[in-house]
Amino acid sequence: MHVNHLDHVNIVTHDLPGTARFYVDLFDLEARNGPPPSRPDKVQWIYDGAGRAILHLNAVGALQVFERDAQPGPTTGAVHHVALNCEGFADMEDRLKSRALDYQVNDVSSIGLKQIFLTDPNGVLLELNFFQG
């Protein structure tokens, strides 16, 4: 047995439409309804360009297969951040500036990596990794 890659991250939110818009607009992703029996007003899945559901967004109170208390807010429990491998550093920085979003840039020149850190509307810390080829 081996792990192939990270499948998805689940985020619980008080504002499902706003959180979905954040990811769709900022990252050019696609929101779709989750599979039945989930309800569209409670669950949205966010897909990347290859058709993979990389984020599962659940409204507070959505049905959970595995019950666990997860509340949106400035802390995300034991999860410190979610990292996304990205391309187009300058384009992303322009998008963040045009939306007046706070972010921080980190340069790890020893491995050819530029990073952008920002939080989503639910306090989830995102690490955007741009490897320079």
User: Which CATH number is 31's domain given?
Assistant: 3.10.180.10
Residue 126: pLDDT over 80: yes
First CA to last CA distance, the chain: 31
Q: Is residue 20 a part of any domain in this protein?
A: yes
Q: Is residue 70 a part of any domain in this protein?
A: no
Q: What pTM was estimated for this model as a whole?
A: 0.86
Q: Is residue 33 a part of any domain in this protein?
A: yes
Q: Which residue range forms the structural domain that includes residue 56?
A: 1-63
Predicted local distance difference test score (pLDDT) of residue 67: 77
- Res. 64 pLDDT band, cuts 50 70 90: confident
In angstroms, the CA 82 to CA 73 distance is: 15
Is residue 38 located within the same domain as residue 84?
no
Q: Is residue 71 a part of any domain in this protein?
A: no
Q: Is residue 75 a part of any domain in this protein?
A: no
Predicted local distance difference test score (pLDDT) of residue 3: 75
Task: List, for residues 80-121, the tens digit of each pLDDT value.
Answer: 799 999 999 999 999 999 999 999 999 999 999 999 999 999
Tally of structural domains, the chain: 2
Is residue 47 located within the same domain as residue 4?
yes
Q: Is residue 17 a part of any domain in this protein?
A: yes
Q: What mean pLDDT is predicted for residues 43-66?
A: 91
Is residue 86 located within the same domain as residue 118?
yes
Predicted local distance difference test score (pLDDT) of residue 31: 98
Instruction: Find out whether 13 and 60 touch, Cβ atoms under 8 Å.
Output: yes
Is residue 55 located within the same domain as residue 111?
no
Task: List, for residues 1-54, the tens digit of each pLDDT value.
Answer: 657 878 899 999 999 999 999 999 999 999 999 988 889 999 999 999 999 999
C-alpha Rg value of the chain to the nearest Å? 15
